[in-house]
Structure 1
Amino acid sequence: MARFAGLFRRQAMPETIPARMAEEISRQDAAAERLIGWVQLGVVLFFALLYSIAPRAEGTSGFNFVPWALGAYFLFTIWRLWLSYRREMPVWALNLSIVVDMLLLVGIIFSFHIQYDQHPTFYLKAPTVMYMFLFIALRALRLDPRFVLTAGGIAALGWIALVAYAVMADPDHMLVTRNYVRYLTSNSILIGAELDKLIIILAVTLLLAFGLARARHIFFDAIRDHMAASDLRRFFEPEVASTITEGQVEIEAGQGMVVEAAVLMVDIRGFSPVAAKLPPETIMRVLGCYQGCAAPVIKRRGGRIDKYLGDGILATFGALSPSQTFAADAVAAAMEIIAVIHAAQSDFEEAGWPGKMRVGVAVTSGELTIGVVGVADRLEYTVIGAPVNLAAKLENANKKFATCAVAALETYELATRQGAHVKAIERRQGVDIDGVEGVVDVAFLVNEQAAEVQVKSWEQL
């Protein structure tokens, strides 16, 4: 009972629903109201066509109410359809439309005993009552049970009024009977039969409203999930978002796979001490400019950004989408990022960054584990493995070696075999890298002393 009572509340959607979700639902409701208007117009035109081509029924002699009712209903339907395109239909207009629907049917049914000059009990056997279910069901197009309940309630009241008038129209010759045969073959009233019609009207209304209440709840959840999935694609790469939203099984921590891929790490040189002296809004503008330079390059070269690490960017090549040139793409992206950052110095100055913007880039490759880490209520899709750790250490080593871009020598040679046209300024074996156990063979791609010349050379490739 509490659920049915809740259907009568004025609120058509939860109070806590996000504003943009409420706007989407309102657009859907407005579209449904326009559809209802067109269906109503189709119904009245069908009635008019049927009435115009059908011969006048034998035995009719009284006032014919039907053409006047259809004409008035046609004008009202045109007004309602026009209003639905001009603005969101107010609740009073929606309820008025329901009242007019039912008044049309009740009026047409009531007129039958006048047309045929019969006792009012005559109209109770008219099959036109079936159209009440059409107008009740029509309100289901909006997926709002309140209006279905309103339509069913008015239909029930209309039928009660018709039965009451038929019973009380001629008290001296009340034609109430318990004989079913007499009921079918004369202008008699079988109270049980009329009660059955009323019960069916109410039962259909309540069942349809209950079904719509459930459907609308699912509808809210579906829109919320759709918007969440759309937002998810802004926070994750498309392949990751699709895995999360379209997966056949629930994602759990520990799921993953091993792939051969390249890792690229980018970081702003000297960011922390400079940022400590800048206003927060300036820091965010600078980061936005920096990420706006680097992210498109990574995407254009076939890379996928795994995460933003403050002023750092961790990207992978060939991890989410298989690639035969993942190392070459990563090395090319590293060179292009330095070129793009160099070309955007005026933008960084305008954003509020003091001095020259410099970045460090490192590229590594090898076996990566890509998958889900975290706990049940807080998961993260990421890549882990030795190449990720080495990329972070090599990027930091740029400061030690006064370079802008460095790659693991094995990765650089793989990139060359895959078609990369990048000439290393130096190859060095057995290099000590802070935080890395043992020594590492590296290829220095760009150094700070000749960065401008090297960048211009790269831009010409």
Structure 2
Amino acid sequence: MAQTCFNHEWLVERTDIVPAPEDLTLNGTHAKDLQFATVLYADLDGSTDMVDTYYWWFSAGVYKAYLACAADIIRGEGGVITSYDGDRVMAVFTGANQCVDAVRAAMKITYVVGAVIQPVINTKYPDSGFVLRQTVGVDASSLHAARIGVRGDNDIVWVGRAANWAAKLTALPGRPVRITKAVFDLLAPEFIIHEGAYVWHVREEAALGGGAHVFDTDYIYTME
């Protein structure tokens, strides 16, 4: 099996649609090429401390509420959920307005955490002292998709900068929504300036390599 995985001659098919595992062959060297796609990672912040401090059923409820709300928003903005990994969800956006769609989803997730989930927690568990924190990372680049695993138990691996950087962004310090310059450069004006004020804070981030800039914000997109 390992011998067949290492081959520079791959069957690569271009696509503008996020593939499902069944769109790729499991055995052999078959891949899908998305020449430009946007990846979003939404991640609970401090979930290890939560699990260590609170009852398991409380933590499970937080996971379920956060991931369900995030998933609904992502799908509503045209994103395709590609995986859940513990306390986070990954999604891929394609199309002409993919960066705007992904950032709007990130801002809506931030809004729902503060306006919907946290008030429910405060009402049901007023003495818990629990504050739900989360981060959303968004990057855009070319992506390749390949099918991994074994028959009956397999998934897709996403190869490309955006898949790695979007995840890395969630682990960096800063405001809840973090994006790269590749995403920022494709945003509509209303996502850059609001009521005359610049929405984003920008910094150079060594964790992403020399010269990489991260834009972060606590600006929300309301759903009322």
TM-score between both structures, scaled by the size of structure 2: 0.77
Question: Are 2:106 and 1:330 equivalent residues in the alignment?
Answer: no
Give 1:425 shift.
Answer: 3.1
Identify the residue that residue 170 of structure 2 maps to in structure 1: 395
1:347–1:324 distance in 2 versus 1, CA, 3 Å = same
How does 1:239-250 map onto structure 2 within 5 Å?
A: 240=20, 244=22
SS in 1 for 2:156: strand
Structure 2 CA distance for aligned equivalents of residues 460 and 294 of structure 1: 13
Percent of aligned pairs sharing the same letter = 22
Bigger relative CO (Cα 8 Å, ≥ 6 apart): 2
How does 1:300-319 map onto structure 2 within 5 Å?
A: 300-318=76-94
Structure 2 CA distance for aligned equivalents of residues 289 and 429 of structure 1: 32
How does 1:284-299 map onto structure 2 within 5 Å?
A: 284-299=60-75
SS in 1 for 2:176: strand
- Residue identity matched to 1:356: V
Check conservation: 1:331, 1:420, Cα contact below 8 A: no
Question: Are 2:107 and 1:339 equivalent residues in the alignment?
Answer: no
Identify the residue that residue 53 of structure 2 maps to in structure 1: 277
Check conservation: 1:266, 1:314, Cα contact below 8 A: yes
Deviation per residue, 1:295-326 (Å, 9 max, x gap):
110000000111111111111101xxxx1111
Give 1:286 shift.
Answer: 1.3
- Residue identity matched to 1:432: A
1:250–1:292 distance in 2 versus 1, CA, 3 Å = closer
- Residue identity matched to 1:383: W
- Residue identity matched to 1:346: P
1:441–1:251 distance in 2 versus 1, CA, 3 Å = same
Check conservation: 2:169, 2:178, Cα contact below 8 A: yes
Question: Are 2:196 and 1:421 equivalent residues in the alignment?
Answer: no
- Which has the higher mean CA deviation after the structures are superposed, 375-384 or 272-281? 375-384
Tell me, which stretches of 5 or more residues in structure 1 are unaligned?
Answer: 1-237, 447-453
Identify the residue that residue 348 of structure 1 maps to in structure 2: 121
Identify the residue that residue 8 of structure 2 maps to in structure 1: none
Identify the residue that residue 372 of structure 1 maps to in structure 2: 147
Deviation per residue, 1:120-167 (Å, 9 max, x gap):
xxxxxxxxxxxxxxxxxxxxxxxxxxxxxxxxxxxxxxxxxxxxxxxx
1:346–1:428 distance in 2 versus 1, CA, 3 Å = closer
Check conservation: 1:373, 1:380, Cα contact below 8 A: yes
More helix as a share of residues: 1
Give 1:357 shift.
Answer: 1.2
- Residue identity matched to 2:109: I
Structure 1 CA distance for aligned equivalents of residues 108 and 26 of structure 2: 36
SS in 1 for 2:215: strand
Structure 2 CA distance for aligned equivalents of residues 313 and 460 of structure 1: 20
Structure 1 CA distance for aligned equivalents of residues 66 and 123 of structure 2: 12
More strand as a share of residues: 2
Deviation per residue, 1:213-243 (Å, 9 max, x gap):
xxxxxxxxxxxxxxxxxxxxxxxxx962xx6
Deviation per residue, 1:62-115 (Å, 9 max, x gap):
xxxxxxxxxxxxxxxxxxxxxxxxxxxxxxxxxxxxxxxxxxxxxxxxxxxxxx
1:253–1:415 distance in 2 versus 1, CA, 3 Å = farther
Check conservation: 2:192, 2:199, Cα contact below 8 A: no
Give 1:252 shift.
Answer: 3.0
1:347–1:382 distance in 2 versus 1, CA, 3 Å = farther
Structure 2 CA distance for aligned equivalents of residues 310 and 351 of structure 1: 24
Give 1:430 shift.
Answer: 3.0
Identify the residue that residue 101 of structure 1 maps to in structure 2: none
- Residue identity matched to 1:408: T
Query: How many residues matched?
Result: 199
Question: Are 2:219 and 1:459 equivalent residues in the alignment?
Answer: no
- Residue identity matched to 1:410: A
- Residue identity matched to 1:293: C
TM-score between both structures, scaled by the size of structure 1: 0.40
How does 1:437-456 map onto structure 2 within 5 Å?
A: 437-446=209-218, 454-455=219-220
Q: Which has the larger radius of gyration?
A: 1
Question: Are 2:200 and 1:430 equivalent residues in the alignment?
Answer: no
Structure 1 CA distance for aligned equivalents of residues 124 and 64 of structure 2: 9
Tell me, which stretches of 5 or more residues in structure 2 are unaligned?
Answer: 1-17
Check conservation: 2:146, 2:158, Cα contact below 8 A: yes
Structure 1 CA distance for aligned equivalents of residues 41 and 79 of structure 2: 12
Question: Are 2:176 and 1:404 equivalent residues in the alignment?
Answer: yes
Give 1:254 shift.
Answer: 3.8
Check conservation: 2:99, 2:187, Cα contact below 8 A: yes
